[in-house]
Amino acid sequence: MLKGLRDFLLRGNLIDLAVAFVIGLAFAGTVTAFVKDLLTPLIAALFGKPDFSGLTFTINNSRFLYGDFLNALLSFVMVGTAVYFFVVVPVKAIMERSNRATAPAEPVTRQCPECLSEIPIAARRCAHCTATLVMSAGR
């Protein structure tokens, strides 16, 4: 029974998940600090109000704190924007650059003009319908 538990805990997927979780928590803290310490003061400098938590209205002695919701919504939008522009866009550019470096492989087959089956490029006769094939220029 303990051997099965040990095997489960030491499986590669579980270790990978644990590492990803820890890195994700560290990354979330970094992004939250970036938004709180840099983007929010920038918005305060532009619009003059960094915190909306004091905004409320009252209906029938019920107090609605819509300012807290605005703070959470603004924080969500800023975190999403920061992640997109500082993580997604650069990683996408790096992936496109690395994919551009690998040249596409030359085709090794072509279609028979008679039966449309796949045949080797160097073939002079189709193995399926026995049609005589014309070699293309350069081959």
Q: Of 47, 30, 41, which Cα lies nearest the Cα of 82?
A: 30
User: Does pTM top 0.85 for this prediction?
Assistant: no
Same domain, 26 and 83: yes
Same domain, 17 and 42: yes
* pLDDT tens for the chain, residues 1 to 139: 788 877 777 776 777 787 788 888 888 888 888 877 887 788 778 777 667 778 889 999 999 988 888 888 888 888 888 888 888 899 899 888 877 766 677 888 888 888 888 988 888 888 888 888 877 654 4
Residue 117: domain span: 108-139
Q: Of 40, 114, 24, which Cα lies nearest the Cα of 74?
A: 40
Same domain, 67 and 130: no
* Alpha helices (runs of H) in 85-135, residue ranges in sequence order: 89-101
Same domain, 46 and 90: yes
* Six-digit token string for 61: 């002695």
Q: What is the CATH number of the domain that holds 59?
A: 1.10.1200
